[in-house]
Amino acid sequence: MPPEEGKTSFWHELWELIRVLLISLVVVIPIRVFVAQPFIVKGASMEPNFHGGEYLIVDQLSFRLRSPHRGEVIIMRYPFNPSIFYIKRIAGLPGETVIIREGRVRVRTGEGPETVLEELYLKSGIVTAPDKIVELKGDEYFVLGDNRTDSSDSRVWGVLNEDFLVGRTLLRLWPVTKIGIL
């Protein structure tokens, strides 16, 4: 006697659903863990370039293939509580000396001359304070928020070890009026 069609159809559909879920997990989980992840901006530390509530996609793969560049906006784990994520901009690279003087950020590599950073992404008239000189080791970065008067960053809690880097901002997906590659 042939099996009842209703029972066969049910088990067949259940198996198809399980297959779709398994394939999705095999594809999605590695992408989420190793390639890209979502991030929602909180706070005002990166204004006027990034605002609270913006939805970003973070590229986690690039920093496995190359070192971060000065000026890149990154997502990082807060060194004193790695369960908290921050968004900041890289100002100083490993092996450099970061000098904050007269409201400007300068960098020096080795014994070379100081170079003033041209921070065109800052609002006009923004100054960086307090004056500070920080020498970075081979695995340290100096990160700053774009809203220098309202940012907890390397000026407050010190340098960022590369182990706390998560990735660089890649896409802005929300708000719709600002969708684009960063």
Question: What are the pLDDT digits (tens) for 87-142?
Answer: 999 999 999 999 999 999 999 998 889 999 999 889 888 899 999 999 999 999 99
> What's the pLDDT tens digit per position in 18-66?
888 888 777 777 666 666 688 889 999 999 999 999 999 999 888 989 9
Peptide bond into 175 cis (omega under 30): yes
Question: Which CATH class name applies to 39-181?
Answer: mainly beta
Indicate if 88 belongs to the active site. yes
Q: Determine the Cα–Cα distance for residues 93 and 95; give it in Å rounded to an integer.
A: 6
Catalytic residue among 45, 124, 132, 152: 45
Q: Where are the domains of the chain?
A: 39-181
Is the pTM value of this prediction over 0.95? no
Please, are residues 37 and 46 in contact by the beta-carbon 8 Å criterion?
A: no
Q: What Rg, from alpha-carbon coordinates, does the chain have?
A: 23
Catalytic residue among 24, 88, 152, 154: 88
Listing DSSP states for 69-99 in one string gives -TT-EEEEEETTEEEEEEEEEEEE-TTEEEE
Please, are residues 151 and 132 in contact by the beta-carbon 8 Å criterion?
A: no
For 89, other C-beta atoms within 10 Å of its C-beta total: 23
Q: Which two tokens stand for residue 180?
A: 């684009």
What's the CA dihedral at 28, 34, 35, 37 to 10 degrees?
70
